[in-house]
Structure 1
Amino acid sequence: MKIRRPCAEDGARIWRLVESSGVLDCNSAYVYLLLCTHFSDTCAVAEEDGKLLGFVTGYRLPDKPDTWFVWQVGVGSAARGRGIGKRLLRAVLTRHDDLHAIEATVSPSNRASRALFGSLARELRAPLREAAGFASPLFPDSHEDEPVLRIGPFSEYLLRDRPGRALPADRPELRPRLS
């Protein structure tokens, strides 16, 4: 499996994966093209033998440039259970020494995403907090509330060791010592 930055050709592939998921909110194909080109440094795709297995899309928050907002994480049904979602998140984190937090909006019923972000927070040894986000009346259709999950702050030393900057789960000597 290879994880890399997306390119324009990945936009339609991501759109198809989202549409076929049955659980992710499907945005326009144009949005995925923009994310794969304008924001490729804060997105990633996982592929194997030329087949898209999963993706993560996101961007830096304009008013908090040290915070990465994760828009969507998607893994195809055939590839689930392999830890691909977390590997995609980590791949983007390792590209940026100056990120100190992650935010995402996650509905209360989305147990898979909540588990993913909880696991990443534990790995980063960073607090995971929930705050008000987008209330359901803000959406034009029936939609659950989307509270904000925030992981951080986390330390840059957790992302050191280039290339590939291993995180604590991979490199015990980089784990913080707890008193």
Structure 2
Amino acid sequence: MGLKNDERPIIIRKPQIGDGFHIHNLVQKCKPLDINSLYSYLLVCSHFDQTSVISVLNNEIVGYISAYINPNQNKTLFIWQVAVHPDMRGYGLATKMIMDILNRKQTKSVEFIETTVTPSNQASMSLFEEIASQLNANLKKSPLFTSDLFGKLNHEEELLFRIGPLTK
């Protein structure tokens, strides 16, 4: 895969219901991400399409972000999952997808971005530190979901990253 001169440009767009199966397949290739049910990806494509995004290269989904406006904090965009095909990493695709979401009319009132990151996921930590830097916004990290909340799954804790306030 990768970016070659003879390939069509990457298309960044809102997900559609027909993309759910392909998103599920992409996430399976993106260790260490948790793989959610296919049903959950279908719901993202139908219920959260205005705040989520996919990237398509040569008719293949190579990037995906699920996000939504937090119903308890209506000025906060919560980024649930970021997946970039292993062959497409290092091109700034995740940053472009996040910026695409932030530039939509549905997110104009967003003042904060939140996400959770496991301590061992250095790629995600670097991504959100870069996003905060590009947006010239503060980044605050705090515990959110401790490992004991995951029961016997042996899941790392999830740290809350809060970026903002955003100035647009």
The total of aligned residue pairs comes to 156
Q: Is it true that 1:30 corresponds to 2:42 in the alignment?
A: no
CA offset at residue 49 of structure 1?
A: 1.4
Unaligned 5+ segments in structure 2 are 1-9
The runs of at least 4 consecutive aligned structure 1 residues that moved more than 4 Å come to: none
One-letter amino acid of the structure 1 residue matched with residue 30 of structure 2:
S
Distance in 2 between residues matched to 1:89 and 1:151, nearest whole Å: 13
Q: Is it true that 1:144 corresponds to 2:153 in the alignment?
A: no
Match of 1:102 in 2: 113
Match of 1:90 in 2: 99
Of structures 1 and 2, the one with the larger relative CO (CA 8 A, separation 6+) is 2
User: Alpha carbon RMSD of aligned pairs, Å?
Assistant: 0.8
Distance in 2 between residues matched to 1:35 and 1:16, nearest whole Å: 15
Q: Is it true that 1:132 corresponds to 2:143 in the alignment?
A: yes
Distance in 2 between residues matched to 1:58 and 1:22, nearest whole Å: 19
SS in structure 1 at match of 2:74: strand
Distance in 2 between residues matched to 1:8 and 1:55, nearest whole Å: 13
CA offset at residue 125 of structure 1?
A: 0.4
SS in structure 2 at match of 1:126: coil
One-letter amino acid of the structure 2 residue matched with residue 113 of structure 1:
S
Report the TM-score when normalising by structure 1: 0.85
Q: Is it true that 1:58 corresponds to 2:99 in the alignment?
A: no
SS in structure 1 at match of 2:29: helix
One-letter amino acid of the structure 2 residue matched with residue 63 of structure 1:
N
CA offset at residue 22 of structure 1?
A: 2.8
Report the TM-score when normalising by structure 2: 0.91
Identical pairs, percent: 38
CA offset at residue 45 of structure 1?
A: 0.2
SS in structure 2 at match of 1:68: strand
Q: Is it true that 1:13 corresponds to 2:22 in the alignment?
A: yes
Unaligned 5+ segments in structure 1 are 157-179
